[in-house]
Amino acid sequence: MTLIVLLIPLFPLLGFLVLGLGFRAVPKKWATVIGTGTVLLSFIVSMVVAFNLRYFAATLPGFSFDWISIGPLKIPFAFLIDPLSVVMLLIVTGVGFLIHLYSVGYMKEDPGYNRFFAYMNLFVFFMLLLVLGANYPVMFIGWEGVGLCSYLLIGFWFKNREYNNAAKKAFIMNRIGDLGFLLGMFLIFNTFGSMSFGQVFAQAKSMPAGSPAIVAITLLLFVGAVGKSAQIPLYTWLPDAMAGPTPVSALIHAATMVTAGVYMIARSNILYVLAPATMTVIGITGLATALFAASIAIFQNDIKKVLAYSTISQLGYMFVGLSVGAFTGAMFHLTTHAFFKALLFLGAGSVIHALGGEQDIRNMGGLRSRLPKTYWTFLIGTIAIAGIPPLSGFFSKDEILLHVFEYSWPMWKFAVAGSLMTAFYMFRLLFLVFFRDFRGTEAQQHHMHESPPVMTTPLIILAILAAVGGVLNIPEIFDGGSRLSAFLAPVFADAAAVTAHQVPLPHSTEWLLMGITLAGVAGMVLWAFNRYVRKQPVLLPDSARRSFIPNLLTKKYYIDELYDFIIVKPLDRLSTFLHDVVEIRFIDRIVNGVGNMVVWTGNTVRFIQTGNVGFYMFIMILGIILILFLNILI
Amino acid sequence: MLTVILILIPLAISLILLTIKQEKAIRQFALAGAVVEFGVAVAAFITYKTSCHCNLLFTADWLTTLGVSLKFGMDGISLLMVMLTTFLVPVIILSSFSHTYSRPSAFYSLVLLMEMALVGVFVAFDGLIFYIFWELALIPAWFICAVWGGHDRIRITFKFFIYTFVGSLFMLVALIYLYFRTPLPHSFDFQWLYAATLTPAEQTWIFIAFFLAFAIKVPVFPLHTWQPDTYTAAPAAGSMLLGGIMLKMGIYGMIRWMIPICHQAVQLYAPVAIILAVTGIVYASVIAIRQNDMKRLVAYSSIAHVGLIAAGVFALTPYAMEGAVIQMVSHGINIVGLFIVIDLIEQRTGTRSIRDLGGIALKAPRLAIMFMIILLGSIALPLTNGFIGEFLLLLGLFEYSKIFAAIAGLTIIFSAVYMLRMYQRTMLGTTNGLTEQVSDLTWPEMVLFIPLVVMIFWIGLFPGMFLDVALPDVLQILNFVK
């Protein structure tokens, strides 16, 4: 079994090596087989591992060799297979495979076809390391590695300067978070003398809640999560990351990489439940991000940007779930989100593909009849994310909302407000793209076509998953088995023991909360329908004057401009100042000054060497007198 | 005996090269000699036993009345430095083949002479011998830069020479003073020097003298202003020798000589040194962000990177010291790689100006890949060599002070900022008049990169071998400050 686990990341790594080293020499047909096949193989092996874990053993023996080892510092290259990592494995390889398959069609005409699959395979490899790592440093390898692949894939079309800037921005913002992660690891080592999950968590269990070291550790790790999972204040890279090919947005910037922060916190659950202060910070950050991003999404006109802000917002929900101790809820939402958001992105890709690269929803409309498969699958994704039963998003979001309600009533109100916004912007998107008449050019109308089966098949599979994914964890109120909760329970057992057991809410309250949320969502859908389908939609060009709030939201609260003003520009100016003034006019001038002084002294002293013996005698006597005087004085 | 052979081979080749006339023969002979030298170093590495350094120790009497002996040997730290030197010199020689230098016999002879001096510095177990090799290394370095260098080379290299030479003189004074404080009969042997009895005041003065000599060489902020100019004006091979190997003399000197000899003063003034080093990290990183000359950018990035190494040395913790040793090796490999990339770009386009370049990846995908891999090593991505070093350095520094580690850690953000900016502006985007005709790497040029890339991943994936070699001696050095 040990070796089989090893195969999971090995397949995509081999795929990367073959495609990367072979480069253009590998024929396209083979690149397709290697690129997608390796991920499929990983998925199959992951299934085998999952099956074994489910029915035979709680944890599989990991595989391990010492990566860094100095005295007490031991960092084995070890993997951990437990229910939590298995859930992630299946998402990464399963959804990953579907997206790879889709890419075969989407990237067909691209000259960088092989390079694309090489990067994608490398990404899957690093993502699997991140998920499988049995200690923080191995997780960090994956953590930074996926950041690199994200950089390479956002800037995949590297002729475009804007895209390159987006890629660089993503990497740097991620690195800011990574510094937090790194320092968090150091503090973990300092506190526990180890960085392995097993040893750290075992020791942490016996520590009192709220101890400063654990609060500091969890906060530092959370900084890492903020960067990777695009939360306030480090979220601005994710909308820009849409510069990458659409399958990349689906895989990296929706389904997998950006959820790494959620996974990391769920993995460290015992540390987090012992740090209530951190949990509050996470809750506030997550909720603020969820609302903030959702409000921006309402006013965006780029199909991918809407989805990007939606992703940020949904990640915010997951963090809110984590902050109230609903680890299973967060992981459940992570899973269903992977299904429906990958689906939505791939659907958007299909639309973009059909319209020859058009991304502005103001120039779309009426695609329902021309792209039926895309439409139906996109519709399912929209219903799922809006949280309408019985699709998956309803169950996962409801689980988080329920826990939030138990924790804090005002927080619940905000969270519901966010989910209403979600319903609105998603149906706005759906209606503007697929309903009424086409608003694009003649040429686009003529060129428009449904995507080939290699692209629509993943859409259909994902649509099925998005539709029925809820069965993973149907709550008790619907006579469901809460299977995911039961499956993940061993991982979260210690955390559950720490958090006080609350009396479960009466069913009547649960029904009431659900009813309120659903009524709101229904209202939002109707409102969007009224605005964008029943009436002629009002679509302002970018240059149009808007009133204050719509303008603020269209311009994304001017956050990019703000960062530019308070960080980027001052740093540039500081750089110039340090070089031109401090370096050249100050430090170097002192150095040269010392040098010149030596030369000057030399020149001056030379005049004293007159060769006149009388003069020397005079100086000597003067010196003796001086010494005598000094002797008396001191 | 191997140790002495390691000094004699480059010396012999250096002398023989002067007698050869034909350029092709000179190149081949120089390369072959450097490769043989590396082979001998590998042999030393294989036969090396961590438990005793006896098989690599060589002692012969010389100036017995003064207590100076020809004592050479290698411990784990020396061994890694010698490996680095002998590994990089063939690469540097090979990279010079694309240039036609005037007076090639003199050029390659000086490179080999430099190698001899560098090896000498790393294997000297006698203070005076160490000093002699230390100064000897400066001479070929200066000639290479002053004769084959670029714009304004005379003024710049003169400053370089004077600056580092003055620093070294302080060390000479310190060594002589120490000599008279060693137990009778006085000796320059390193163990005698370690055993010198010093009052706290004496320790302080000796510390300052050593620190000036070593910190100028590294260079540690604010003693660094000779460095960007010199790296920029030097010919490609000169920059590689200076940045890849010579600056390690400074760090090595701190570890081998300064810490054991004036351990009390080192402990006392470590915070000051760390503050300087950490300031240098941020200062040089910020300056690097806006540099337009690729070489200058790398020069400033180097100040930042070695600043972290210096900070790690003064943290006086095992992890940081191990990190410093492994990072010296990694930094040498990465900076030589970067200078080779820059050199190849300059040969193809005639410029190193970042704003005049762009789109090279379209024309030279292999070069783009090599550049990316070296860049990743340099920004310390996990699984590359740079990560191992910086991880250990920051971890060790964190044990010393959390605040300093956090500030020093900014380097992982800044290095991404300036390195990716350089990469983007030169390799990505669309081509222009200058980069239109750029050709991709030829196979001989690929050969240049292969050893570097192999080492980047070897150290990144399996650092154990290198860490284990250095560990006992690192702990022994740290015993002095316990």
Q: What is the band of A58 on the pLDDT scale with cuts at 50, 70, 90?
A: very low
User: Could you say which of A505, A540, A575 is where a domain stops?
Assistant: A540
Where does the pLDDT of residue B419 fall: very low under 50, low under 70, confident under 90, or very high at 90 and above?
very high
Task: Tell me, yes or no, whether B429 lies in a domain.
Answer: yes
- Are A70 and B319 a contacting pair at CB < 8 A? yes
The whole-angstrom distance between A576's CA and the closest CA on chain B is 7
Size of interface A-B (CB pairs under 8 A): 120
A440 and A301 together in one domain? yes
Where among A485, A505, A540 does a domain terminate? A540
The C-alpha atoms of residue B305 and residue A186 are separated, in whole angstroms, by 20
Is the distance from CB of B134 to CB of B105 less than 8 angstroms?
no
Q: Are the C-beta atoms of A303 and A357 separated by less than 8 Å?
A: no
* Span of A50-59, A318-327, A482-491, B308-317 with lowest mean pLDDT: A50-59
Q: Is the pLDDT higher at A98 or at B69?
A: A98
Q: Which of A617, A32, A382, A70 is nearest to B321 (CA)?
A: A70
Whether the bond into B222 is cis, omega within 30 of 0: yes
A527 and A418 fall within a common domain = yes
Shared domain check, A443 and A337: yes
Residue B296 pLDDT:
94
Give bridge partners of residue B58 from the DSSP assignment. Answer: B72
Residue B337 domain-assigned (yes or no) = yes
- Asked if the Cβ–Cβ distance from B420 to A168 is below 8 Å, we say yes
Distant-in-sequence, close-in-space partners of A395: CB < 8 Å, separation ≥ 6:
A332, A336, A389, A470, A473, A474, A475
Give the pLDDT confidence score for residue A553 in this predicted structure.
Answer: 86
Rounded-to-integer distance, Cα A559 and Cα B181, Å: 65
pLDDT, position A59: 47
The total of structural domains in chain A comes to: 2
Mean pLDDT of chain A, nearest integer:
89
Beta strands, E only, B66-185 = 69-72
A496-515: average pLDDT: 80
**Same domain (yes/no): A480, A582:** no
Residues 169-188 of A with CB under 8 A from B: 171-172, 175-176, 178-179, 182-183, 186-187
- Has residue B136 got a pLDDT over 60? yes
Is position A494 within any domain? yes
Q: Are A505 and A405 in contact (CB under 8 A)?
A: yes
Return residues 408-437 of B near A (CB < 8 Å). 409-410, 412-413, 416-417, 420-421, 424, 427-430
Average pLDDT over residues B30-45: 94
From chain B residues 357-396, the ones with a CB under 8 A of any chain A CB are 359, 361-362, 365, 376, 381-383, 388, 391-392, 394-395
In a domain, B267, yes or no: yes
State the best of B156, B158, B160, B287 to mutate against chain A, taking most chain A CBs within 10 Å: B287
Domain shared by A395 and A317, yes or no = yes
What pLDDT, on the 0 to 100 scale, is given for residue B47?
Answer: 86
> Look-up: residue for tokens 């961590």?
B50
H or E, element range at A69:
strand A66-70
CA distance B470 to chain A (A): 10
Query: Looking at chain A from residue 95 to 154, which residues have their Cβ under 8 Å from any Cβ of chain B?
Result: 137, 140-141, 144-145, 148, 151
Long-range pairs, B201-204, Cβ under 8 A, ≥24: B202/B177, B203/B262, B203/B264, B203/B265, B204/B262, B204/B265, B204/B268, B204/B269
Q: Are residues A515 and A569 in the same domain?
A: no
**One domain for residues A528 and A490:** yes
pLDDT value of position A2: 66
Q: Report the run of H or E that residue A190 belongs to, with start and end.
A: helix A161-192
Number of domains in chain B: 1
A297 and A355 fall within a common domain: yes
Q: Tell me, what's the pLDDT at A81?
A: 85
**pLDDT-wise least confident of A304-318, B184-198, B443-457:** B184-198
pLDDT at A1: 58
Would you say residue A141 lies in a domain? no
pLDDT at A542: 83
When CB atoms are compared, the residue of A70, A140, A574 closest to B382 is A140
- In A39-68, the residues whose Cβ lies within 8 Å of chain B are 66-68
Q: Taking residues B288-301, report their average pLDDT.
A: 94
Q: Range of A431's domain?
A: 275-540
**Residue A395 counted as domain residue:** yes
B330-354 pLDDT tens trace? 999 999 999 999 999 999 999 999 9
Averaged pLDDT for residues A393-422: 92
More confident residue, A632 or B456: B456
Are A565 and A535 part of one and the same domain?
no
Of A507, A540, A573, which closes a domain? A540
Mean pLDDT check: name the lowest of A14-28, A75-89, A190-204, B370-384.
A14-28
Tell whether B154 is covered by a domain.
Answer: no
What is the predicted pLDDT for the residue at A54? Answer: 59
CB atoms within 10 A of CB A571: 15
The SS3 assignment for B126 reads strand
Checking if the pLDDT of B54 tops 70, the result is: no
Report how far residue A227's alpha carbon sits from residue A183's, in angstroms, rounded to the nearest whole number. 14
The reply to whether B88 falls in a domain is: no
Does residue B287 lie within any of the structural domains? yes
Q: Does A70 sit within 8 Å of B322, measured CB to CB?
A: yes
SS3 A133: strand
Kindly state whether residues A586 and A483 are assigned to the same domain: no
Residue A599: the pLDDT is: 76
Put simply, whether A585 touches B (Cβ < 8 Å) is no
**Same domain, yes or no: A365 and A504:** yes
Of B227, B250, B230, the residue nearest B238 (C-alpha)? B230
Q: How many residues does chain B have?
A: 482
Q: What percent of chain B has pLDDT over 70?
A: 99
Question: For residue A218, is it within any domain?
Answer: no
One domain, residues A486 and A606 = no
Residue A267 within a domain: no
Structural domain containing residue B418 = 263-482
Nearest to B412 among A66, A145, A179 (CB): A179
Q: What is the mean pLDDT of residues A12-32?
A: 87
- The answer, yes or no, to whether ipTM is higher than 0.85 is yes
* Distances B4 to A281, A564, B36, B56, B137 between C-alpha atoms, Å: 63, 58, 14, 9, 17
Domain contains A368: yes
Residue B462 lies in a domain: yes
How far apart CA A97 and CA A158 sit, in angstroms, is 25
Q: CB distance B428–A158 less than 8 Å?
A: yes
For the cut 80, the answer to whether the pLDDT of residue A403 exceeds it is: yes
Residue B33 sits at the vertex; the CA angle it makes with B32 and B37, to the nearest 5 degrees, is: 115
Assigned domain for B296 exists: yes
What pLDDT does A57 receive?
Answer: 44
